[in-house]
Structure 1
Amino acid sequence: MEMGGVVRTQVPRAAGSLLSRPLAPVISLVDRRPFETGEFEVDGIRLHYEVHGSGPRVLVLTHGILLDSRMNRRLASDLAERGFRVVLLDLPGHGLSDRPRHASAHRMDSYARHVIALLDELEIDQAAIGGVSLGANVALQAAVLAPERVRALVVEMPVLEWAVPGAALVFLPLLLGVHYAAPVVRQVARLARHLPATGIGALDSFASTLRLEPEEAAAVLHGMLVGPITPTYEQRHAIAAPTLVIGHKIDFIHPFTDADHLTRQLPNARLVEAHSILELRTRPARLTGEISDFLTEAFGSWRPRRSTLSPNDGLARHG
């Protein structure tokens, strides 16, 4: 319900009481903790973001390809409770941000510029930058683009040169599918718009993928073929920011060798092995603790050199 410009979400109580025992593992993933939202514009593209928590220790997270910020919402809420301010950005073509239908809007280095523009919008001098898959590579590009703005990096399942063949095996059929089966994709998108939100970030994020029009999905996929996918070997060696790399061994799109090689190439990196591709989304406690400890160490006694906006400035509150 909406009161005085504040959007509040009410959780149905019956779900927990009637199904709590058999569905306890699923219900535990439902997250209704409050957060705030805002929008800003870069190059004529309107971008949407969420803010969880407050304070000077800021982490900006971006999502995987064709997904949205909700996949990181549980992590953001958990870190906010540990004293961090976590900003989730919907990249162009994803989530509630604008969806330009030309590939040039979806270059990896353009996405990195949008992350830095978000820091400017929120008047944040320096922040930790992170993400998963596509978002991990965007974080690395941001560290190359503006190293003075990056306090630390949290990269989950990065995609380097060795993963390109595996990624092509997945994304080429997707690209052909949205092109040659556009009517089917359009019908799926129409039906998916009626799916209710579950409060489970990863599940709701996947549902957002189903809502994409074929032209929107094609533009994002084409964009990955335009410009750099990852910083060069030399650029990676020059990234000085402390970095937490998260990888796992059962995924040919994000092979563990990429995470291992990246850790060896970066001057100040450590590697954490996830038990599975879904651990941070379904059993988040262990990895959330690793991320929290890493960020606490990275920020240390650091204080921002310039003031940041109040958490409430220009933001709508949810929850």
Structure 2
Amino acid sequence: MPRAFQDRLAHVLASAGLHVVVPDLLGHGRSDRPADPMAYSVTAFAEQVVGLLDHLGATQAVVGGTGIGANVALEVAVEAGARVRGLLLDGPVLEDALTTEVGTLTPLLYLARFAPLGVRAAGWAARPVPRRLLPGQARVGVDMLEQQPAPLAALVHGVLFGRLAPSLLERQAITTPALVIARPGDPFRRVSDAEALAEQLPTASLERVEVPWRRDRAPEQLDMAVSRFVLDAARPKGIRRSRRGGA
């Protein structure tokens, strides 16, 4: 998802005194869009996050994301665990959501590969639509339609056929404090995946939030839970107590 999708949460965290950086990963937002499928994967995105930390001179950070962005955060914890102070995992896409994800992205891949004129026409038709008036999911969809067909096909191809998330054994070895967010009613982010991940991670807590379609207008419950978690994770290392359960 483009960084604009996280604007609201970024402002909430920044208002708590945190230094917040929201990147556009390769193929998203204002970042480059190569037409090579090999350039895209969850592991490649994780490498980009670590590279961004290097660029910023940040030895450690709380890392998080939504949907596949949560999977990227997990990969960062596997690849560079010493640099991750906490994991914010909003609606991870794991085994139960895989069928939905494939069913959603495969037609997009087909259209971008074999009907590029249709993708271009949809992008042209979407340009006059004011982004600020659209809910988060619709805004992401419009942004995707405005991409050129070849880079769009490469992006979907790379994500679908690459490694989507760390293995179960790798997840169970992650000891970084984590907040897993489950959104009942969201067809793209299965609650069962979030619940399973919260059980698999040794120091994870689970927060349930009933906002399936308007993630950009999450309730105060979510703002408080996320801010509390990130502020705690950002403190100097000490003894932290993990919390399980939902709200």
Q: TM-score, normalised by structure 1?
A: 0.70
Number of aligned residue pairs: give it: 237
Separation of aligned partners in 2, 1:69 and 1:187: 24
Structure 1 residue 103 and structure 2 residue 37: aligned?
yes
Q: Which runs of 5+ in 1 are unaligned?
A: 1-66, 304-319
The amino acid that maps onto 2:176 is A
Aligned to 1:163: 97
Could you tell me how far 1:208 is from its partner in structure 2?
A: 1.9
How far did 1:183 drift? 0.6
What residue is the counterpart of 2:72 in the other structure? 138
Larger-Rg structure: 1
3-state SS of paired residue (1:271): strand
Question: What's the TM-score once normalised by structure 2's chain length?
Answer: 0.89
Q: Describe the shift of the 1:162–1:197 C-alpha distance in structure 2 as closer, same or farther (beyond 3 A).
A: closer
- In structure 2, the CA distance between the partners of 1:188 and 1:200, relative to structure 1 (3 Å rule), is closer
Contact 1:245 1:263 in 2 (8 A): yes
Aligned ranges for residues 114-129 of structure 1 at < 5 Å? 114-129=48-63
Looking at secondary structure, tell me which structure has more helix per residue. Answer: 2
> CA–CA distance in 2 between the matches of 1:208 and 1:146?
31
Inter-partner Cα distance in structure 1 for 2:215 and 2:119: 29
Structure 1 residue 288: Cα displacement: 1.2
Question: Pick from 195, 200, 207: which aligns with 1:265?
Answer: 200
Q: Does 1:240 align with 2:175?
A: yes
The answer as to whether partners of 1:280 and 1:287 remain within 8 angstroms in 2 is no
Percent of aligned pairs sharing the same letter = 36
Contact 2:209 2:222 in 1 (8 A): yes
User: Distance in 2 between the 1:261 and 1:169 partners?
Assistant: 22
Q: CA RMSD in A?
A: 2.0
Q: 2:95, 2:43 → 1: CA distance?
A: 16
**Residue 214 of structure 1: how far off its partner (Å):** 1.5
For 1:198 and 1:249, the matched residues in 2 are separated by 25
Cα deviations by residue, 1:51-70 (Å, 9 ceiling, x for unpaired): xxxxxxxxxxxxxxxx3000
For 2:179, the aligned partner's letter is L
Alignment of 1:147 onto 2:81: yes
CA distance in 1, matches of 2:214, 2:182: 11
* Distance in 2 separating the partners of 1:206 and 1:285: 26
Change (3 A) 1:196 1:250: closer
CA displacement, residues 196-255 of structure 1 (integer Å, 9 cap, x when unaligned): 453878365443222112112111110113331010001000111100000122234321
How far, CA to CA, are the matches of 1:288 and 1:199 in structure 2?
22
Query: Structure 2 stretches of 5 or more lacking a match?
Result: 239-247
In 1, the alpha carbon distance for the partners of 2:180 and 2:48 equals 22
Residue correspondence of structure 1 range 192-203 to structure 2 within 5 A: 192-198=126-132, 202=136
